[in-house]
Amino acid sequence: MGRAKKAGKRSGSRTGTSGTILIVRHGKPILSPRDAHPAMKAADYREFWIRYDQAGLSPGSMPPLPLRKVANDARRIFVSVLPRSQESARAVVGDSSVEIDPVMVEASLPPPPLWGLRLRPRHWGIVARLAWRLGRAGGMESHTAARERARAAAGKLAEAAENEQNVVLFGHGWFNRMIISALRDMGWKVVDRRGGHSYWSWRLMVRRAS
């Protein structure tokens, strides 16, 4: 994907007029929870999620043209450490230099130990996310910790957008929402949105006038 570099650790305050922040959900991976998978137990779903995190994009998952047009205005491009994030960036911005940052990775999705229960992956996702928000983290990152990480991610994006620099993040569905919420708390607003919460959906944000 051209030149990749590790993102810096700074997340300072605004020093000039801000550009835009484009938050993009990755395209459809080869292994997708939305597809018709057989019902499975919690332990099998945990293994499914590990394989999902290792999966790249489906060959037929193509970014919409409006997204390409908006993303190509970006001066800085952020991705997470996961293949579906990095391959999505490549599909949209080609060989442009990207900044790989683990702080942008998806929030954990540990299934609750409902022994004997069998669900399809997409239904496990609903149950697991609800349990996670209620405090059941299963030894993984908690909801509270993920919110702190989302604030750190939002700070990095806001800092990157200083001095009229447009920024894009090719991130993940749930954690993108958390970043957007944190950016709103920091004075940013959504001015354009496309695709709901589906693959290749996106939100364009600008800083609210003082």
What does the pLDDT look like over 33-66, one tens digit per residue?
A: 989 899 999 999 999 999 999 999 999 999 999 9
Mean of all residue pLDDT scores within the chain = 91
Count of Cβ atoms closer than 10 Å to residue 7 Cβ: 18
**Tokens read off for 183:** 């950016």
pTM of the predicted model, to two decimals? 0.89
What does the pLDDT look like over 86-104, one tens digit per residue?
A: 999 999 999 999 999 999 9
Q: What is the pLDDT of residue 12?
A: 38
Q: Return the percent helix, strand and coil in the chain, to nearest 5.
A: 35, 20, 45
Considering the chain, what percentage of its residues have pLDDT values greater than 70?
92
Count of structural domains, the chain: 1
Nearest to 81 by CA among 99, 58, 59: 99
Residue 156 has pLDDT above 90, yes or no: yes
| Domain extent at residue 174 | 4-207
What SS3 class is residue 173?
helix
147, 131 Cβ separation under 8 angstroms: no
| Interacting residues of 85 by C-beta distance below 8 A, sequence separation 6+ | 26, 79, 104, 105, 170, 171, 172
Residue 105 has pLDDT above 60, yes or no: yes
CATH number where 166 lies: 3.40.50.1240
